[in-house]
Structure 1
């Protein structure tokens, strides 16, 4: 708790992302971007937690995020992702998809590409709900049930799957270079293979029983068959897309909608979730007795159905700690990352030892010492 800095930003934050580090970099991340929603004028804003020529004491306490630059955004920012070190892609409630460029020398932001009404109904705009990037490729999904493929170096649209879904697609992520995963408002996880010309998913997975809307999805960075989702009921679902069409395990996570789930990109035994209930959770799947100090005291244990989660000899093991298929004797340790919150935590991102999240309480929280 002591290492968390709160920055009040006078706008509801819908999304936040760290600028990716160069592959050769040994530094911790120092720049993140936020997008706002439900404000009179929404913005995309770049922040620094390093020096970057800005006095650390200029606007608050040392270590406080400092605003570098910002740009007006038409509509709510429903998603944003970095395309590369200098460019981000936003998904708007107006249906538009925009590439913004951050000019680091002058600390300004400009629009470098814009696709108006990419997502739309016959007579109205349809919100673009999620975007995923693998430069120069950009893939978006929307409330209109469409999947659209763009290229940053191309003005037109590369491909459209017109009727990909009859319900709202809430989120999209890559499974592999040529495959994506989507989740929708009737509790389905769909796998799409772009090597096929077909406009149908290659696999459909679903929650058994009630059609609980799924809001977010992320895949394990090392073992790509392991996928985590979260949805309206606050449950954390872990899937093995190689077998079966229902979740491998279900965990009680939050008391309201889960908005985002993220595996740590380099230490995927750690996973993070945030929710409408105002909480941000850090999950650790190892069952080692020498639990790290940040989990000592006040920790919770969440039982997993159908999964033992015993240590599997490291992240590269053939059997993941998330999918150790024994009886349900194993436990996952969870810890609350924020002081008591009342308003929704809408977005989180984690890179290295740094975590950032944005809330409806018009605050951004930064933790630079996450114990991984």
Structure 2
């Protein structure tokens, strides 16, 4: 594990993201944003770091290269979310409501603002000069960009178009906290009253096609991710630190509610190429690795528990056979290993990203960490 940056100032690392890489050059660059703890927007920056490549690791997997800052640029407002559009462009969501595409010029290692949608999110009842509402989430499927905000608005942008392709002004009466693509034309959103919603962007009506919700208390949901191979499997996390697993093909409530963190869960991510592994991070200073791959070959019986049909099983890929572990009535029994990757936890772990064997996460302790041996 490498400490990439430790600042003597008040820089809270909010959004670390791996730059998408060709397979031949996996994991050579990383971007993250630092969120200022002092009320001074000038100190918010987007930074690109190089952390070397896997060729610089020793026999025991230790990394021998020196991480270094390639370039950075100021950002107006707190960075609420950040996603790569492609290998050169980064889409950033601001607390001011503005959405910006930054371009990384790799020939001279500079960053510039490529395009900006000012006040993409705003409060109608406030003065227009300061009425911006935080853009809380962004997801990209080049060239399309979807944003959500605390104003309950959903925007669909295209990177090559000046104006929004579509806006759903009153998509939600509460704050939308996160968004991800379900399929090419469908998105998933989570909100501050415990609801998971599906939106079909092909439909012109401004209503969700499906609504799912937590039973009982309306606990705010902060994060959402869908299984990369089996898109009906969705994971969410929220204010109570619980991990919820949903099967969007059936019912309106989660299939599983798993006790997880002791405070807010800020992000949840299935591993993009090995989705029997899932990662969550929390305000309580912990980062958990959930592993359902253990004993799958030796204990196939669990795949049929709860009266579920064998039709759930797919043998088209190796990864898909373990999906039912997430859908089991008791997915932790005998077949899930849970590891806290930060044993000496202190301040909030705000965000994480995972690619191949590498994990990156940022904390309120003014530090960003890289772990290159996830499966060692």
The answer to whether the aligner puts 1:236 opposite 2:237 as a matched pair is no
The answer to whether the aligner puts 1:359 opposite 2:363 as a matched pair is yes
Give the equivalent residue in structure 2 for 1:30. 28
Give the equivalent residue in structure 1 for 2:320. 316
* Offset at residue 217 of structure 1 (A): 0.2
Single out whichever of 323-332 and 113-122 deviates more from structure 2. Answer: 323-332
| Unmatched tracts of structure 1, length 5 or more | 52-60, 292-304
Give the equivalent residue in structure 2 for 1:45. 47
Alignment of structure 1 residues 170-189 onto 2, 5 Å: 170-189=177-196
Question: Does the 8 A contact of 1:307 with 1:329 survive in 2?
Answer: no
* Offset at residue 323 of structure 1 (A): 1.5
Question: Does the 8 A contact of 2:276 with 2:322 survive in 1?
Answer: no
Distance 1:209 1:31 in 2: 44
* Offset at residue 178 of structure 1 (A): 0.4
Give the equivalent residue in structure 2 for 1:16. 16
Distance 1:189 1:307 in 2: 25
Single out whichever of 327-336 and 115-124 deviates more from structure 2. Answer: 327-336
More strand by share: 1
Q: Give CA-to-partner distance per residue, 1:303-361, whole Å, 9 cap, x none.
A: xx9799xxx77312395321145797444211111241211000000001110000111
Tell me: CA distance 1:319–1:28, structure 2 relative to 1, closer, same or farther (3 Å): closer
Give the equivalent residue in structure 2 for 1:301. none
Distance 1:307 1:82 in 2: 41
Question: Does the 8 A contact of 2:5 with 2:368 survive in 1?
Answer: yes
Tell me: CA distance 1:318–1:62, structure 2 relative to 1, closer, same or farther (3 Å): closer
Distance 1:173 1:62 in 2: 35
Alignment of structure 1 residues 1-372 onto 2, 5 Å: 3-9=1-7, 10=9, 11-22=11-22, 25-39=23-37, 40=40, 41-50=43-52, 62-122=64-124, 123=126, 124-288=131-295, 314-317=318-321, 320-324=324-328, 329-371=333-375
Task: Provide the TM-score with structure 2 as the length reference.
Answer: 0.87
Question: Does the 8 A contact of 2:81 with 2:136 survive in 1?
Answer: yes
* Offset at residue 229 of structure 1 (A): 0.3
Q: Give CA-to-partner distance per residue, 1:2-47, whole Å, 9 cap, x none.
A: x34353144111111100123xx14431111111223431000001
Distance 2:16 2:135 in 1: 17
Tell me: CA distance 1:77–1:319, structure 2 relative to 1, closer, same or farther (3 Å): closer
Q: What is the count of residue pairs matched by the alignment?
A: 346
Give the equivalent residue in structure 2 for 1:54. none
| Unmatched tracts of structure 2, length 5 or more | 54-62, 299-304
Question: Does the 8 A contact of 1:86 with 1:102 survive in 2?
Answer: yes
Distance 1:344 1:307 in 2: 40
Query: Alignment partner of 1:320: what SS?
Result: helix
Q: Give CA-to-partner distance per residue, 1:198-250, whole Å, 9 cap, x none.
A: 10000000000000000000000000000000000000000000001000001
Distance 2:132 2:307 in 1: 43
RMSD: 2.5
Distance 1:85 1:6 in 2: 21
Task: Provide the TM-score with structure 1 as the length reference.
Answer: 0.87
